[in-house]
Structure 1
Amino acid sequence: MIGIRRDADALLQALLSKLQQRGGTVVKVTGCVITWQRPEAAKSFIFLSLEGETGILNVMVSPASFEKQRRVRLSPSVLVKGTLQNTGTVVSVQASYVEALSGRQPTISSHDFH
């Protein structure tokens, strides 16, 4: 649905405008999930990357939050509520809540570079 993409991009733009703020700011952002990772060295934290037209945002999800909302793993787009982590030039969100977006999902182009 085009509306989902517009909403996602608007929220990502709002987040990007907050990058000048100190870490700890509570934010909401939506985007298309391009990667879920659960590295062994990360103490069971889950990392996901959200994509919008303006770029990619990294999100960290605690094991407890992930277990409560495990079904979101199947969703191609999500809403994330969490705390902005701003360390130098690296910006991410520590998620406190992740929700699957319902309705028609946007079509995502392949990222294959052949």
Structure 2
Amino acid sequence: MLPGTAPALTAPDLPEMTAVEETIADLWATGVSATGHPVQHARPRLDRCGALTAAALRTAPVNRPVVVGGLVTHRQRPPTAGGVLFISLEDETGLIDVVCPPHVWQRRRRTALQNAGLLVHGTVERRGGATNLRATRLAPLTLAPGTTGRDFR
């Protein structure tokens, strides 16, 4: 054994993790967090910009312009959809289905593909009991580093 290379006998004092750091650590280590959803840490900022939750979107009036924010769980662009991109967002209250028309997809392609969190402006659609958001604008929503979506084409 070399002098000075023995492990320390006591653990060093470290500062306590913040709620955001704890959520990120949980997600990194296990893929889930018992302490909360990452979007809940951004909720005060989302509330200030008037963003609805997934739960509130389900009862929002049809054709009303709204804003939502969440983590991207899936992106799908099937060849049979005529250039439409389908995005699934998740917030602390549930899932949001976003329909991104070709003109929005072409204009905001990089934003749609490179961000784990999105702020989506759009109008509410409801058909057959399902609520969708037809996107008119996409913007990045920074939530937590290291979060990725599961992308399928």
Give the TM-score band, short-chain normalised: 0.7 to 0.9
Q: 2:98 aligns with which of 50, 59, 67?
A: 59
CA distance in 1, matches of 2:77, 2:132: 16
2:118 matches 1:78? yes
> 1:53–1:18: structure 2 CA closer, same or farther, 3 Å change rule?
closer
Q: Which residue in the other structure is 1:37 paired with?
A: 76
| Larger strand percent | 1
Q: What displacement does 1:86 show?
A: 1.3
Q: Is the 8 A contact 1:12 1:54 kept in 2?
A: no
Larger Rg: 2
Counting aligned pairs with the same residue, the percent is 28
- Bigger RCO (CA 8 Å, 6+ sep): 1
- Partner amino acid for 1:36? R
Offset at 1:105? Answer: 2.0
Segments of 4+ in structure 1 off by > 4 A? 5-10, 106-111
Tell me: CA distance 1:21–1:6, structure 2 relative to 1, closer, same or farther (3 Å): closer
Amino acid at match of 2:97: N
Matches within 5 A, 1:1-114: 3-4=41-42, 7=45, 11-13=51-53, 16-72=55-111, 73-102=113-142, 105=144, 108=147
The residue type paired with residue 94 of structure 1 is R
Task: Letter of the 2:95 partner, please give it.
Answer: I
C-alpha separation between the residues in 1 aligned to 2:148 and 2:115?
16
State the secondary structure of the residue aligned to 2:51: helix
TM, length-normalised to structure 2: 0.60
Is there any run of 5+ residues in structure 2 with no aligned partner, and where? 1-19, 21-37
TM-score where L is the length of structure 1:
0.78
The Cα offsets for residues 38-79 of structure 1, whole Å up to 9 and x where unpaired, read as 011111100000001211110010111111111111100010
Distance in 1, matches of 2:94 and 2:138, equals 19
Distance 1:67 1:8 in 2: 25
